[in-house]
Amino acid sequence: MGSRNKILVIEDEENISRMVSALLESNGYQVFQAKKCSEALMMSASYVPDLIVLDLGLPDADGLHFLKELRKDTVTPVIILSARSTEKDKVDALDAGANDYITKPFGAAEFLARVRSALRSVRGHLPGRKFELNGLSIDYDSRCVFVRNVQVHLTQTEYNIVVFLAQNTGKVLTYTQIIKEVWGYPDEGSIKKLQVNMANIRRKFGEKPGKSSYIVNELGVGYRMNG
């Protein structure tokens, strides 16, 4: 069972809202529901949820409007749950501050896994000056990275990418967000440069194509440290 984390579900379709809420409640979460952007903003301020599940197609405003308003005041994790499935929709939402993006229809097990991952990102994975996750360890003071107690020798750029992903464990980071953090500016070859570095990182971590213990490739969108 999950802890009694508070989750705000913002969804105007009654059957989906009921189904998502029942799924979350049956797994131990405390759920609040909103159907409009205006209502959701008030409830978010009143209940201070630990996580928000947000549909983009709300009757009084687009869900991105809610997200942008929310990000003025809080870093509460947000999972987008939407029928919109283009890469542009996903990238726009993630760049606006969403933590994750799930398209409808969706599987219950994957949805709950994403919820757990988003909630873990709030609690953080950074005790002291170290990061620990499923056999991956980062010692920030010595700038050393270990996989199953074996040191992995990364370039400075590769290290910076890994640290940024680790500090946002469970959150999908778009190509643009990573490029700005690591290189400071995007240029024509930025995405290719990032992909080459990421391929090197995953190889050094011992990850095989199609299988990922640590870094998940969200195709056409970005990357996520698997929380």
Q: What are phi and psi of 173, to 5 degrees?
A: -105, 130
Q: Is residue 178 part of a domain?
A: yes
* Host domain of residue 33: 6-123
Same domain, 111 and 220: no
Tell me, what's the pLDDT at 56?
A: 94
Same domain, 142 and 189: yes
Q: Is residue 95 part of a domain?
A: yes
Q: Is residue 162 part of a domain?
A: yes
User: What pLDDT digit, counting tens, does each position of 187-212 carry?
Assistant: 788 899 999 999 999 999 988 766 77
pTM, full prediction: 0.77
Tell me, what's the pLDDT at 9?
A: 98
Q: Residues near 181 by Cβ (< 8 Å), separated by ≥ 6?
A: 160, 164
Same domain, 53 and 38: yes
Cross-strand pairs, 81: 102
Residue 130 has pLDDT above 90, yes or no: no
Residue 221 has pLDDT above 50, yes or no: yes
Number of domains in the chain: 2
Same domain, 143 and 101: no
Residue 123 has pLDDT above 70, yes or no: no
Whichever domain contains 57, its CATH number is 3.40.50.2300
User: What pLDDT digit, counting tens, does each position of 107-119 carry?
Assistant: 999 999 999 988 8
User: What pLDDT digit, counting tens, does each position of 147-159 carry?
Assistant: 999 999 999 899 9
Q: Is residue 1 part of a domain?
A: no
Tell me, what's the pLDDT at 142?
A: 84
pLDDT category at 103 given cuts 50, 70, 90 is very high
Residue 137 has pLDDT above 90, yes or no: yes
pLDDT category at 27 given cuts 50, 70, 90 is very high
DSSP conformation letters of the chain: -----EEEEE-S-HHHHHHHHHHHHHTT-EEEEESSHHHHHHHHHHH--SEEEE-SB-SSSBHHHHHHHHTTT----EEEEES--SHHHHHHHHHTT-SEEEESS--HHHHHHHHHHHHHHHH-S-STTEEEETTEEEETTTTEEEETTEEE---HHHHHHHHHHHHTTTSEEEHHHHHHHHTSS--TTHHHHHHHHHHHHHHHTTPPTT--SSEEEETTTEEEE--
Tell me, what's the pLDDT at 72?
A: 87
pLDDT category at 178 given cuts 50, 70, 90 is very high
The mean pLDDT of 12-37, rounded to a whole number, is 95
Closest CA to 35 of 63, 64, 71: 63
Residue 216 has pLDDT above 70, yes or no: yes
Instruction: Return the residue matching tokens 């700005």.
Output: 180
Q: Is residue 181 part of a domain?
A: yes
**C-alpha distance from residue 121 to each of 52, 109, 118, 224 (Å):** 13, 19, 5, 11
Answer yes or no: are the C-beta atoms of 126 and 164 closer than 8 Å: no
Mean pLDDT score across all residues of the chain? 89
Tell me, what's the pLDDT at 209?
A: 67
